[in-house]
């Protein structure tokens, strides 16, 4: 009996070892990149997503997260997604607009008074239309994360009226809507990668920039900027994207796991970003940055040519978007 028991033990151990090795061999690691610091809500949400993917897959899928543009800036990561050299990215509205120009229309000036109204629009037919366009260009959308309502900072003087921007070099993302808005207002828009903005402000390459409060704080822009204007001129989302080349190599079950984790991470990130924006604005003001209200009506009037340009180019989509925005704001 003893030899038989020994043999049974050996066989059992061999089977368990083989099963473990097979499971490990089938485990798949996906790479996720973003351009923010590790103190930004998008990084926290990226880690949340990675944890949920591992939990939901039982360890068969894992996600490694790289912050601070370690895998390239937003445009470079977008290229990586399309080539299949990068699996996942929390990108920018402007980077997505480089392949789906209609994405920039979410940033029409003063379209949304509040981020929650934008979420409602993005979770409806407008967001689905953009996701379909992205899919036609090799990109799978896993969620529309929040990048907040944007504010203006600068080092020259308070910006209260549109004319106060005239001649200022304002750092913007690589986004055609941002270019149009600040050109129309008389500023000199300077596209600079997000991760390089602090140094650009510090060295005077740009006089100012525009971002939501949470980004201004997490990137420490307020440390090298004297004035902040509560312009609320533009909303932006953060597209959470997957490479379709990667997507096609996943099983239907794995795709479902990424979708579920993506939905959960989207809710997590949005709520965190919304809460932190108010908190960070107070902390920026407490740090000594001079905060000013703006003449919103004057700004809205000054950017009307921006609306006219994009209405002529995409009349149907602009009509769909503005109608959805009005409904969400009611």
Q: How confident is the model at residue 92 (pLDDT cuts 50, 70, 90)?
A: very high
H or E stretch covering 10? helix 2-26
Tell me the pLDDT tens digit for each residue of 32-69: 999 998 989 999 999 999 999 999 999 999 999 999 99
Q: Which residues contact 233 (CB under 8 A, 6 or more apart)?
A: 109, 110, 150, 152, 181, 210, 299, 303
For residue 330, the model assigns a pLDDT of 81
For residue 198, the model assigns a pLDDT of 97
Q: Given a cut of 60, is residue 293 above it in pLDDT?
A: yes
Nearest-CA neighbor of 190 among 207, 212, 177?
207
Hunting for tokens 């600079």 — which residue is that? Answer: 192
The full set of domain ranges for the chain reads: 27-329
Q: Given a cut of 60, is residue 7 above it in pLDDT?
A: no
Got the DSSP string for 107-143? Answer: G-TT--SSHHHHHHHHTSHHHHHHHHHHHTTTEEEEE
Domain with residues 27-329, CATH architecture = 3-Layer(aba) Sandwich (3.40)
CA-to-CA distance for 205 and 200, rounded, in angstroms?
Answer: 5
Q: Given a cut of 90, is residue 18 above it in pLDDT?
A: no
pTM passes above 0.85: yes
Q: Given a cut of 80, is residue 13 above it in pLDDT?
A: no
Q: Where are the beta strands (DSSP E) in the chain?
A: 28-33, 61-66, 88-90, 139-149, 151-154, 169-172, 188-191, 208-211, 227-230, 235-243, 290-293
Tell me the pLDDT tens digit for each residue of 60-74: 999 999 999 999 999
């Amino acid at each position: 009996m003893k030899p038989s028991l020994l043999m049974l033990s050996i066989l059992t151990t061999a089977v368990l070892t083989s099963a473990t090795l097979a499971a490990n061999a089938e485990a798949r690691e996906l790479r996720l990149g973003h351009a923010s610091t590790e103190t930004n809500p998008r990084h926290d949400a990226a880690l949340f997503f990675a944890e949920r993917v591992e939990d939901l897959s039982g360890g068969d899928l894992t996600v490694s997260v790289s912050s601070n543009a370690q895998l390239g800036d937003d445009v470079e990561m977008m290229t990586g997604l399309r080539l299949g050299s990068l699996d996942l990215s929390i990108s920018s509205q402007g980077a997505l607009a480089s392949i789906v120009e209609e994405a920039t229309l979410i940033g029409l000036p003063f379209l949304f008074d509040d981020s929650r109204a934008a979420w409602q629009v993005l979770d409806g037919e407008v967001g689905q239309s953009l996701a379909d366009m992205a899919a036609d260009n090799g990109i799978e959308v896993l969620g529309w994360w929040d990048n907040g309502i944007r504010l203006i900072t600068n080092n020259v003087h308070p910006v209260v009226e549109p004319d106060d921007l005239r001649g200022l070099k304002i750092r913007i993302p690589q986004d055609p809507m941002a270019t149009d808005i600040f050109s129309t207002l008389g500023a000199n828009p300077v596209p600079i990668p997000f991760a390089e903005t602090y140094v650009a402000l510090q060295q005077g390459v740009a006089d100012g920039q525009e971002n939501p409060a949470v980004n201004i704080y997490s990137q420490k822009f307020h440390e090298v900027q004297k004035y902040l204007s509560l312009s609320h001129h533009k909303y932006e989302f953060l597209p959470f994207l997957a490479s379709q080349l990667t997507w096609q190599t996943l099983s239907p079950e794995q795709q479902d796991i990424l979708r579920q984790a993506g939905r959960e991470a989207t809710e997590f990130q949005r709520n965190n970003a919304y809460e932190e924006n108010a908190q960070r604005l107070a902390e920026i003001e407490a740090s000594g940055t001079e905060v000013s209200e703006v003449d919103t009506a004057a700004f809205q009037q000054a950017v009307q040519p921006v609306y006219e340009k994009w209405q002529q180019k995409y009349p149907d989509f602009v009509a769909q978007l503005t109608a959805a925005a009005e409904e969400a704001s009611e």
